[in-house]
Amino acid sequence: MARVRAVNADLLARNAHLELMNEKMRRDKYGASSERSRRLLEQLEIAFEELEADASAAEIEGEIAAAKTTSVAAFTRKRGTRRDFPADLPREDVVIPASEQCPCCGSDDLGRLPPDITETLEKVPARHKVIRTIREKVSCRQCEKISQPPAPFHVTPRGMFGPHFLANLVFQKYGLHQPLNSQRDRLEAEGIPLSLSTLADQVGAVAAVTRPLFLLLEAHVLAADRLHADDTTVPLLAKYKMLIATEK
């Protein structure tokens, strides 16, 4: 039964993949670039990823069940050729040394052969840290004056957040469409409690300090004789809609 479930799950995943590829080829051939077509592709991708995950889980369950019997062979899914990881990704070598003696006869007269190399993609989680800027003070015993080096440059007033944190905050909001409340919850789960107003205040500060760059880009774009724009509508949540609904 586990093997049958694995086969059926694999067939469903294959059908979903074929439907997705068919829609992509139809879109490329006929140039259908409407919003409806894009949303259809997104729905097909979501359906495919769900079925693909189910098929992989069923395959593993089938292997576990087949290992307990000698009458049923495990089902192995057919997969495409795996692409190599980009060459510019940093590599970390973990060497598992071979035995210094032959495990069969105990001889130490061994010859080196080419090793087997397996590459595994791993993620190093983002790590937050607090940078303490310590400005030393000195007092002159002669004139009794106190001197101190000037404060370093900060991107935003009060220098509570560094440039990398601010760049990631703004990119998550405008580049990946992650609202600030989601980012706040993720930071709190990592042990960094920040209020929504604090994050919004920093977004406004970034908008203010990058306004000169925005003005330069705006002047460059508007200097063109002709501008092309996308008239696709974007659904937005009406202002105060949630507040009014809560009050009612």
Ordered mean pLDDT values, 10 residues apiece, the chain (248 residues) = 86 85 78 67 80 83 85 79 79 87 84 84 82 88 88 80 91 89 90 87 87 92 88 65 49
Nearest to 180 by CA among 190, 194, 192, 164: 194
Of the CA atoms within 13 Å of residue 195, those in its CB half-sphere come to 3
pTM above 0.75, yes or no: no
Q: Tell me what pLDDT residue 169 has.
A: 92
Q: Tell me what pLDDT residue 43 has.
A: 81
Tell me the three-class secondary structure of the chain, residue by residue.
CHHHHHHHHHHHHHHHHHHHHHHHHHHHHHCCCCHHHHHHHHHHHHHHHHHHHHHHHHHHHHHHHHCCCCCCCCCCCCCCCCCCCCCCCCCCCCCCCCCCCCCCCCCCCCCCCCCCCCCCCCCCCCCCCCCCCCCCCEECCCCCCEECCCCCCCCCHHHCCCHHHHHHHHHHHHHCCCCHHHHHHHHHHCCCCCCHHHHHHHHHHHHHHCHHHHHHHHHHHHCCCCCCCCCCCCCCCCCCHHHHHHHC
Q: What CA–CA distance (Å, rounded) separates 18 from 125?
A: 35
Instruction: List the structure tokens of 216.
Output: 């330069």
Q: Tell me what pLDDT residue 124 has.
A: 79
Query: Would you say the C-alpha torsion 103, 108, 111, 112 has a positive or negative sign?
Result: positive
Q: What CA–CA distance (Å, rounded) separates 181 from 212?
A: 28
Q: Tell me what pLDDT residue 28 has.
A: 74
Of the CA atoms within 13 Å of residue 84, those in its CB half-sphere come to 7
